[in-house]
Amino acid sequence: MDFSFTKKEEEYRRTLRIWLEENLPEGWIEGKRDLPENEEEQAQFLRDWQKKMNDGGWVAIAWPEKYGGQSASVIEEIIYHQEMVRAGAPHLINYIGIHMVGPTLMDIGTEEQREKFIPKILNAEEVWCQGYSEPNAGSDLSALKTSAVKQGDKWIINGQKVWTSYGHLADRCFLLARTSNLEKKHKGITVFLVDMKQPGVEVRPIIQMNGKHDFNEVYFNDAVAYDEEIVGEIDEGWKVMINLMLHERTGIGAQIFTLEKQFSDLVLLTNELKENGQPLIKDPFTRQKMVELYTRCRGVLLTYYRNITTSMKRGYPGAESSMDKLMSSELTKDLFEFAVSIQGHQGVLWKEDALANPFWQLDYLSSFGVTIGGGTSEVQRNTIGERLLGLPKDLR
């Protein structure tokens, strides 16, 4: 892969950089980047930010222009992620809608579904969550028990989902439900676009060990969906789910470029912290560990570039994205673990007594979830082994 950018691509970068400088919240460029602490105020802040991004045409750049995107190239997507990370821009609240639901509706949904849902996905008028995992059906989705039974012109949905990101903010859910019990478990599943604001949908928060609230339990008690809210064919939701997961893996670029920024912040931390009057970066063990982390960061980035190149030549994303997900999520956890460990016994403090910025402690605790959400590291290793290396299937 040629690592240099053309004049046209550099002009694309300059245009985005100027737009961000003119539109980011006041003081953001200078480093005043605190989001509102109140959950509702923070959600409204992020909805307003995404709407502004959409008004500027910068929400879903890879989407076709007819659906509100820019038909951006893969290289322009890379530039986009680099610039968003460089500016530390607020994240888009409708991540699942943009990276998963929208592209899947373009591939498999009806024209009516595209017209109804896609504009609201772009401007954050409707935030989406994903109704996949259940208490006994996480990595093995074919074991899901949530049911949808046809009664007249309605589908009656009952069951429980868990680890539902954005569930407490969501207006809609991309829900997998069992619609028949066939011999093969991955058959008999159907995908519904469920209204989360209706009676019969109950969302209970799961508070994480860092005190944040990102995940939820969602209970469906006689909730309702209609035929026009089915994606694909009845009982054939497994194919729809596979399509969505391929799009999910392509959204990994932002995490990889964020890793580079996190490593740079770690360099600053090792210069800031002192031992025996000397910056910690002068300690041989610290230097050795920093070299290891830097080498892994570069390895993740170059592997990502190689996989992107493969996808471009082939014309569609493949199982290589499991390598990107596995390597970046494991490295994220290791990087934050090291950042906390070099703070010694004060590494357990994360409020006013913290030795350094407490985001290192908070994000360390969050990093465990990165290796689980979107497919655990074990699932990614199975995918790599079976689909890339041609190894025999794991015993299940």
Catalytic sites, residue numbers: 248
The one-letter code for the residue type at 358 is P
CA distance 13 to 83: 7
Q: What are the E-state strand segments in the chain?
A: 128-131, 147-151, 154-161, 172-178, 189-195, 201-206, 215-225, 230-231, 274-275, 278-279
Q: What angle do CA 297, 298, 299 make, to 5 degrees?
A: 90
Q: What phi and psi, each to the nearest 5 degrees, are found at residue 154?
A: -120, 160
Counting beta carbons within 10 angstroms of the beta carbon of residue 34, is it exposed (0 to 12), middle (13 to 18) or buried (19 or more)? exposed
Q: In sequence order, what DSSP letters do the residues of 256-299 get, joined into one string? A: HHHHHHHHHHHHHHHHHSEETTEEGGGSHHHHHHHHHHHHHHHH
